[in-house]
Amino acid sequence: MYWPVADLDPVRRLRVLAAGVPGARVAERMLPDPFELVWEVASDLEREFGTFEPDMRDLRIVADDGGGRLVAEARSKYGMRARFDVDLRPGWCWMQSRFLLVGLAATAVPEGTLVAQTGGIRVPGRTALVPLGVRRAGEKALARLATRVAERAR
C-alpha cells in the first residue's frame, strides 16, 4: 500500500498547522530580500527576536540539543516570563510554552522571501488560541522583521 506524500515548504506547513488550531490566524508578508538574509535575522532568537515580536522583550536559549530542539526563556515587555520548547530549522520556528504559541516560517520565492507568522495565547487544556489581535500582532511582527532585515542589508 502506498500512502500519499506531500512536501510542504515552511510557509505552507505553518498554514496547515495554524488551520488545525482554533483561533489561530496567519499573517504573511513578501520581502524583497534573499532567504538567507531574512532567516539570519528571523532565527537569531537571542539578539533579534525581541526587536520584531511585539510582545517580547528578550529571549535566552537555556538548552540546545544541537539538532534544532531548544528550550528558551522569554520575558515580555510587560515583565511576564515564559519557558518555550522551540523547534528551529532553516525557514521554520515553532515555539510553545504552557500559555503561548509563536510560529514563524519563511521560504524563498522568485520575488524574494515569503514570511509568515502566527501566535497567541493558548487556552490551558485545549488546543486553541484566543483570537483577539492575533492577525494584527502578526502583521506588526512581520513589518518590524522587514525593517530589521532592511537595516541589516545596508
* 69 contact partners, CB below 8 Å, separation of at least 6: 85, 86, 87, 88
Write out the DSSP string of 85-123.
EEEEETTEEEEE-SSEEEEEEEEEETTEEEEEEEEEEBP
pTM of the model: 0.89
* 57 contact partners, CB below 8 Å, separation of at least 6: 50, 74, 75, 76, 77
Residue 74: its pLDDT value, please?
Answer: 94
State phi, psi for 53 to the nearest 5 degrees. -80, 120
Residue 20: its pLDDT value, please?
Answer: 84
Helix residue ranges, H only, the chain? 10-19, 35-42, 49-52, 134-153
Q: Indicate the domain borders of the chain.
A: 10-153
Name the stretches of the chain with pLDDT < 70: 124-132
Q: State which CATH number among 3.30.530.20, 3.30.390.30, 3.10.450.50, 3.30.70.260 fits the domain covering 10-153.
A: 3.30.530.20
How far from 75 is each of 45, 83, 110, 130, CA to CA, in Å? 12, 9, 36, 20
